Structure 1
Amino acid sequence: MQLSTRYAAMLLALSVPTHAASAAAPASAVAFSPTDPRHVRLYSLERQAFALFDNDDYALSMSQKTRDAWTRLHAAALKAKVAGKPHPLAGVALINLSSMDQIDGKNPDALAHVTEGLALVAPFADAYPVAWMQGLSIKGYVQAALGDVTGGADILAQASRYMDGYIARTPPDKLDESTHMLRSNIAFSHAQALTRLGRNDEAVDAQRASMEARIAAVGPNSPDTIGSYYNYAQMLQRADRDVEAEKYARMAVDIATDHVDRKHPSYARALEALGLLLSRTGRRNESLDYLQRAIAIKRDTVGTSSLYFQFGLQNLGTVLLPLERYADAETLFMEAERGFRGIEGDNSPQSARALAFAASAALAEGRRDQAIERFNAALARVRAGSDKDRDIGQRVYPYLIPALIAAGQGEASRAAAAAFAAETRQLDNAPAIPLAQAAMLSAWTGSDPAKLHESAERLAGVLRDGTVMNDNGELTEEQRAALDAVLAVAAQTQDAALALDTMAVLAGSRIAQANRLVSQRMVTDPGLGGRVRSLQDKVKTLEAADRRLLKALATDNGVAAARAERATIAAVVEAERAAIARDYPRWVDAHGGAQPDLAAVRASLGQGEALLAVMPAFDGVYLLAVGTDGTHIERAGMDRAALVALVGRLRSSLTPAGFDQSSAHDLYRQIFTPGILTALGQARTLRIVPTGAFASLPFGMLLQHPVAAVTRHTPWLIRRFAIEVQPGFATGGDRRRQMAMRGQRFLGIGAPLAFADAKPADVTRGTGALLAASSYFRNGGTDTRALSQLPPLPGSVTELRAIAHRFGSDHATLLIGADASEARLRDRDLSSYGVILFATHGLVSGEMEGVAEPALVLSPPDAATAGEDGLLTASEVASMRIGADWVILSACNTAAGNDAQAPAYSGLAQAFRYAGAGSLLVSHWPVRDDASAFVTLETVKGAARGLPRAVALQRAMLKLIGSKRPDAAQPYIWAPFILMGR
């Protein structure tokens, strides 16, 4: 008997948890031949049933007609006795009925059928080895699905051993594809069960066996094999073997690209594997297309009533979470939850996992009570069948416990923290983050402040070290939730140093994301690249030492030795970090900056200056004020989702004629609380460190008091503070001598030729819409058609000449029209200019994927000019050497990305910083060119008189507000400009 190809295909589709196993396979007790001519009629019934079950028509294969065929075989075989026992085909029929039950999600029926079927086949197992192993596989999967994960893992181990023996004693030419596929599926199910039990090292071995069997079945380049490569990579990641994991994940992508037929239904798995890999390497927006296409193919090939389809929904949802598209993700998770439950039953572990994901999305959206209810339901759903499944607890507890604490459910939070700590201790190779998180959450629900402080600091350190491992700087949702918990503890204890350390991880992540391409270009330097890899290896060693220390603390065993080991390794890591920072400071800045020190931050504040950090974490927004005389940390009254919505409402409401005044005042009240204002004291200049949606917030236009109408005297925040925005907490390198006009050299670049025909732009041409950066790239190059639609900037030449006049003809250089090109810019020694101004279009992006990075539009290159495209990208800027004390990006939209969640200031402004520029003047949205010229010129004039740059910008804004220019008092006109420092 051969394995049903229908069964093999359906197991193959289960790309996420499949579990199975049962009792030991007995040796055959009866001498028996499966080709005995006395049972010809049974063999005919068997062929008829398999013909139906293996039919390409899915509906027919799973129809009542097929069930009836198996039932006829079962009834006839029961009557045909062999040594007083029913013919084993009676059991084979039940095993295949159980396969249909399992595919239909009727797990209790499947368990009953397969148990009876195995009992009938057991005396003849060696004569029907494939049927025996198929039955064990089904029983194991169903048993685990119904909650007995440990029992399922044991049965799968037994099935794997039997399969290994069968392979060893069978001539290779007698082993067909379906047998190898069954071997692969058994090993895969075993690996998944072991993972749910926290036995990650064993799971790696099982998944490797599954991969090797898949290769033997269908070859190394088959679409069906790609999933094995990727699943093996996932197992390696869970076992902390990241280098090997990356190798196999990339192998999956390469083979999918080179060998998979785009029309083959299995291509969906390749697309999904590629999409998930892209999401894990920081290219989540790009990954969405692959995942959505995979779901569409699954919908057409296997339908929506399959586990395969539900896993696709869940995978897409997990990619949307870090993009902060929580509502979209929640919808997918709940659809998957219903699908899993409908297929596997009410206690489906996969439905519990989907529900837990939906709960975390609800928590991020500010619905705490609903999130708690869902988390508890997910735990109960799995624990109803087993208390051995630790995977669900690892997913639930880090979110549930802080939510219970915030809800005032002390007893429930203590019980959950104790369970989380106990389960985490039992995991082999438990990552440092959950170990540290479990320790902190236990301390948070306890009564020892010193222990809470120590554990919170340790978790913050583990999270900070973990970001060094990620070249893209991205934080997972689990990391963001952990940072949120640490910040909540910092606010509760008013520990400003802890808050600063934790906020630096959030800010550094945004900086690293924004500068991913800049960093990649830097590490092409062999010296730096080797040093970075060496540091990452040392950090891995430190993480392992952290795990051992955390385990020792949890078990109160060997703590002193673990502390000493960890301290020794930490000293080596810090020495390596310091050496790289000394030798390659620009890379450190681009990768998120060095760890800040509260004393240094306070010392960096000038007279009358204070710092305010505004940080959205996971479900909360945290505020840190640092003044010369004190600090204050607190969580905003509104949750993250509500505040982000406020920012979005304010930004979308801005027009030359008005804006949402209520949102502007509500945001002021939420951020500038009495505690924050007290800490800021009498400061007149404010350095703001915003991340996430708040990086797109024009703080100067917040209303200190409600107003009925906008006038020249409206109480904007810009009247209270001169504002400088900075992406992180860096304290050095920005206390330069204040720019003086006399002796400074000025370079102005702008008014480039239009891309349409390389002739001077027609200022009467209709204005177009400024798009996101990705809209101006196509197939690896610039899209000249899109660039030709950019609107003209008639005021840019006037602006450039007016500012040049202030410096004097001997100290000013202008590159206008055809001269505003990449070639002319590269010909110049930019280190000799004190002030550089770009008056052109700025293209911004969100994720900066591929070539779609932020850029400044210059004149199109000559046909003979190789290697140029007319766009000066962020990574190109970063490679320059700029000595300017001040760079002014008087261009449309150079500050933030094309959506509220774009990385901090798009990377374009920061690229100038890493090229050596001092402060930058940039804009939040497309700017009216006459307003841009006014603000730029007035700011330069103020700085020339010796005013601090933030004050010069403040006065320029106030002068524009008080002028008689059309709509000048409206924030749409004056508010987009920001001064970016450090």
Structure 2
Amino acid sequence: MRAIVLESQGRYAEAEAGYRRSEAFRRASLKALPRFETPPPPEQIQQAAELALLAAARAESKQGRVAEAEADARRALLDILDQQGKYSTASPDFINGLAGILVEEGRYGDAEQLMKSAVDVQKTIGVAADSPTYVQTLAELGAVLVAQSKMQEANDTYKEIDAAIAQWPPERRELYQHSESRIVALYAAGKFDDGIAAAQELVKRLSARVGVGAFDVASAQGLLAIGYARGGRDAEAIATFKAAIPVLTTASREAADSDDPTLTAARGERVRRAIEAYIEVLAKSGGDVAAETFALADLVRGHVVDRSLADSSARFAAKDPALAELARNEQDLTKQINAELGVLDNMLSLPADQRDDQAMRGVTAEIAKLRGEAAAAKQEIDRRFPAYASLTRPGSPPVAAIQAALRPDEALVSFYFGRDASYVWAIPKQGAIAFAAIPMKADELSQKVGQLRKALEPEVERVEEIPAFDVALAYQLYASLLAPVEASWKDAKSLIVTTNGALGELPLGLLPTADVKLEPKPGEPLFAEYRNVPWLARNYAVTVAPSASALVTLRSLPPGAATRDRLIGFGDPYFSADEAAQADAELAAAAAPAPVTVASAAESDASANVTRGAPLKLRAAPQTEGVDKAELAMLPRLPDTREELTAMARALDVDPDKALFLGRAANEDNAENKDLSHYRVIAFATHGLVPGDLDGLTQPALALSAPDVANVKGDGLLTVEKILALKLDADWVVLSACNTGAASGAGAEAASGLGSAFFYAGTRALLVTNWSVHSVSARQLTTDLFRRQAAEAGLSRGEALRRSMMALLDGPGFVDGQGHNLYTYAHPLFWAPFTLIGDGGGN
């Protein structure tokens, strides 16, 4: 009982511990049953144990540990099925419990199948069609169908609910008749009047329950405004949106500070839905709405630090006593608010004649008081620790501040890709913002980017098998994304890009600015025809900024100390004793006198049988998906990173033996305890990992040498939490082997977490990869990049990268030891894998 109370108060870790004790007690009780004269049925105790396990899983999910939660919920379900069979009165609760966790993971299809199974079980065992448990299962199924845009099936489900609740009291019926998912389904079916009427009733009911300033009321208002917009009532839509959006955004930030990731995700989705629709209405209005829509998009794009980074930030704050006290106070207030909201919700769930109105007014007043105290606590943190506030709660700066941060030859291009509509903004150093709708939804963009990436991450073994890059499709993207606002950025030389969705997986520099047809000429080496494509990178340096606020913050940093050393690098770590032994043997062989002439690096990389073509040697990536137990020792070694870092050191004219920590030396102890604030360039040539890549990994991390191999303490992982504790004064952090450049999926999590952490620690820019690189060409590109920066003091980071890419593209390509030009590096797989994130200006 105490665990249930703790869970209702938002104290999920304590609740989980209570449920674990309850489960253990009941399982131990099973063994003691023979000592009782009249023992209870074993099935009853077993079911109680499984219910406690399911409750623990629910508490785990509320703490963001969804993988563990899924495993425990699945185990509880399998135990019940084994004990009682599928068609038992208990199984639907366990089926729905697992389904709810899958919903939190975004696995709506899997959740749908489970919920349909629960419906089947309830029908088969004779659960009444009008029973609350059956109706609730149907309602949850309807919501999942809506989330997948299966609107016809959802509306059929809601019709079944209507028939089931026809004889219920009105107050109970309206909970299902006016649900948000149901209103969305009505809109999708074109029943705007019915949807608007239901939304109006929902606003009215919630306003009476929780007051007009509550998040749920604002969410219902946003849904009502969407109905007005879909029904062509734009003026009413805009007025309703203006009332709802401020409350939605404030409450969404409150949820982001909570311990409940489910609450955070749910509120974030509602905010996204409302703001996307509001932008769409403003865009149709034809007024001067560029600045307003830009700020809204920057907000809904949610450049909020992901969950793992937020957790790490809180732990990192504990190292500063003053900040720790303020942060802890703010977090405690947030927990108290959520607990009081839970109490209020429980009160409101009672029939009207059973509610204590005076007690409800007292709870409401307490919530208002706590919110005021929480706002004051946030203001104090903002005032005393602005860097921490910026990390955990980045805002959207005004356009004037963005233009002030831009240099004369720069323009900011910002994209937002939504489920129903997409937009682009271009902000020049001087002049008005350009704003245009993009005729492409987020899923359509993802499909096109995926098609283009097939040529950039090919599953082939030989160079000649690399698929052709679809320049026609790439030009279509340029025409849709950049051409509509070209007038505002074409006079710049450097483009700074902010985006969401799949566009982050595709460097904009490889988009052609004109439609061309590739015509390979006989006798030319492979890929030479790509030199004739008018790539955007021919004339523009492209940098990605995490957000507009991040750009403004980075531009406000003081220049680095002139006395800093040029480079420190960590690479070719050994993840197991076997890898270390193999590396030792290779190094010993390389050091021994050779009886014959040693092949050049080019020769060793080419096939001995040239007539069969050249092997395509891409850098290895972690392959732990689907394995039962994923450990550090399973990661593939990256021996080519040793050569890459050595070449980088020579380009910067530093001694590799002093600047580089390779093999066993690429360990956690050296990375954490070296004074990294003395280096301009910090390079990590190793795998980037995201939660789930290794057992127990709950935050993005860089993989370093295994502690038992390097003879150091730790776990071999430089996690986000550890990166936050570093003190940097770096112009560059290079992450050249971990494919962290992707902006969706696993790459996004790594880029978001690792990138945000390194920016907080003190770097001005990050160099990351978007796909597994070709080792030789990547080494040439990064070496040339830093050689250029070292040689030309005024050369910006972005321009140095652009010139290095073009030099690689236009260069001879791969030449073997006999002088044969086997292929050029003009295919974008070779010259375009790197993305510069952060401040692309300065040297």
Measured against the shorter chain, the TM-score band is 0.7 to 0.9
- 1:197 is matched with none
- 1:30 is matched with none
Say if 2:676 and 2:728, in contact at 8 Å, map to a contact too: yes
Which of 274, 297, 306 is 1:511 aligned to? Answer: 306
Q: Tell me whether 1:532 sits opposite 2:332 in the alignment.
A: no
| Code of the aligned partner of 2:797 | R
- 2:592 is matched with none
- 1:687 is matched with 496
> Post-superposition shift, 1:531?
1.4
> What RMSD, in angstroms, separates the aligned Cα atoms of the two structures?
4.6
Change (3 A) 1:896 1:810: closer
Say if 1:612 and 1:623, in contact at 8 Å, map to a contact too: no
- 1:957 is matched with 805
> Post-superposition shift, 1:885?
1.7
Q: Tell me whether 1:806 sits opposite 2:627 in the alignment.
A: no
Change (3 A) 1:823 1:443: closer
Change (3 A) 1:794 1:601: same
- 1:425 is matched with 207
CA distance in 2, matches of 1:474, 1:418: 24
- 2:401 is matched with 600
CA distance in 2, matches of 1:521, 1:910: 14
Which of 225, 238, 242 is 2:10 aligned to? Answer: 242
1:678-734 deviation per Cα after TM superposition (whole angstroms, max 9, x unaligned): 665644433333445555444444566666657223354544643222333424442
Say if 1:749 and 1:820, in contact at 8 Å, map to a contact too: yes
| Matched ranges for 1:496-895 at <5 A | 496-497=291-292, 500-501=295-296, 503-504=298-299, 506-509=301-304, 511-514=306-309, 516-523=311-318, 525-536=320-331, 538=333, 573-594=374-395, 596-615=397-416, 619-620=419-420, 622-628=422-428, 629-631=431-433, 637-651=439-453, 654-655=457-458, 657-658=466-467, 661=470, 665=474, 668=477, 672=481, 675=484, 677=486, 682-691=491-500, 693-702=502-511, 709=518, 711-719=530-538, 721-728=540-547, 729-735=549-555, 745-753=566-574, 755-757=576-578, 758-759=580-581, 760=583, 762=586, 770-771=621-622, 783=631, 785-787=633-635, 790-794=636-640, 796-809=642-655, 813-845=659-691, 850-851=696-697, 853-861=699-707, 865-895=711-741
Change (3 A) 1:400 1:341: same
| Code of the aligned partner of 1:786 | M
Q: Which runs of 5+ in 2 are unaligned?
A: 31-45, 284-288, 349-363, 519-526, 588-603, 606-616, 815-822
Say which SS state the counterpart of residue 683 (structure 2) adopts. strand
> Post-superposition shift, 1:252?
1.6
Q: Tell me whether 1:485 sits opposite 2:274 in the alignment.
A: yes
- TM-score of the pair, normalised by structure 2: 0.74
Change (3 A) 1:894 1:414: closer
| Matched ranges for 1:109-188 at <5 A | none
> Post-superposition shift, 1:425?
3.2
- 2:253 is matched with 464
> Post-superposition shift, 1:480?
0.6
| Code of the aligned partner of 1:687 | I
Change (3 A) 1:578 1:332: same
Change (3 A) 1:354 1:454: same
| Code of the aligned partner of 1:962 | D
Q: Which runs of 5+ in 1 are unaligned?
A: 1-210, 212-227, 552-562
Q: Which has the higher contact order (CA 8 A, sep 6+)?
A: 2
Change (3 A) 1:827 1:451: closer
| Matched ranges for 1:250-265 at <5 A | 250-256=17-23, 260=27, 264=46
- 1:134 is matched with none
| Matched ranges for 1:907-946 at <5 A | 907-944=753-790, 945=792, 946=794
Say if 1:840 and 1:857, in contact at 8 Å, map to a contact too: yes
CA distance in 2, matches of 1:906, 1:599: 26
> Post-superposition shift, 1:918?
1.5
| Code of the aligned partner of 1:712 | R
- 2:93 is matched with 311
| Code of the aligned partner of 2:254 | D
> Post-superposition shift, 1:844?
3.9
CA distance in 2, matches of 1:848, 1:664: 37
Change (3 A) 1:913 1:901: closer
Which of 824, 829, 837 is 1:972 aligned to? Answer: 829
CA distance in 1, matches of 2:656, 2:93: 67
Which of 116, 134, 140 is 1:334 aligned to? Answer: 116
CA distance in 2, matches of 1:937, 1:295: 55
> Post-superposition shift, 1:672?
0.8
CA distance in 1, matches of 2:371, 2:198: 32
CA distance in 1, matches of 2:532, 2:668: 44
Which of 185, 193, 203 is 1:411 aligned to? Answer: 193
Say which SS state the counterpart of residue 172 (structure 2) adopts. coil
Say if 1:747 and 1:836, in contact at 8 Å, map to a contact too: yes
| Code of the aligned partner of 1:312 | F
Change (3 A) 1:333 1:704: farther
- 2:221 is matched with 439
- 1:981 is matched with 838
CA distance in 1, matches of 2:256, 2:162: 30
CA distance in 2, matches of 1:663, 1:242: 53
- TM-score of the pair, normalised by structure 1: 0.64
Say if 1:804 and 1:812, in contact at 8 Å, map to a contact too: no
Q: Which has the larger radius of gyration?
A: 1
| Matched ranges for 1:349-364 at <5 A | 349-364=132-147
> Post-superposition shift, 1:489?
0.8
Say which SS state the counterpart of residue 973 (structure 1) adopts. helix
Say if 2:575 and 2:634, in contact at 8 Å, map to a contact too: no
Say if 1:695 and 1:905, in contact at 8 Å, map to a contact too: no
> Post-superposition shift, 1:248?
3.3
1:736-780 deviation per Cα after TM superposition (whole angstroms, max 9, x unaligned): 5788999752222323456335343538999995326799997xx
Say if 1:610 and 1:625, in contact at 8 Å, map to a contact too: no
CA distance in 2, matches of 1:670, 1:310: 52
CA distance in 2, matches of 1:739, 1:527: 27
Identity of aligned residues (%): 26
CA distance in 1, matches of 2:365, 2:485: 40
CA distance in 2, matches of 1:421, 1:914: 41
> Post-superposition shift, 1:889?
1.6
Change (3 A) 1:783 1:411: closer
> Post-superposition shift, 1:418?
1.4
- 2:171 is matched with 388
Q: Tell me whether 1:302 sits opposite 2:91 in the alignment.
A: no
Tell me how many residue pairs correspond in the alignment.
730
> Post-superposition shift, 1:818?
4.0
Change (3 A) 1:419 1:749: same
- 1:148 is matched with none
Change (3 A) 1:399 1:719: farther
Say which SS state the counterpart of residue 455 (structure 1) adopts. helix
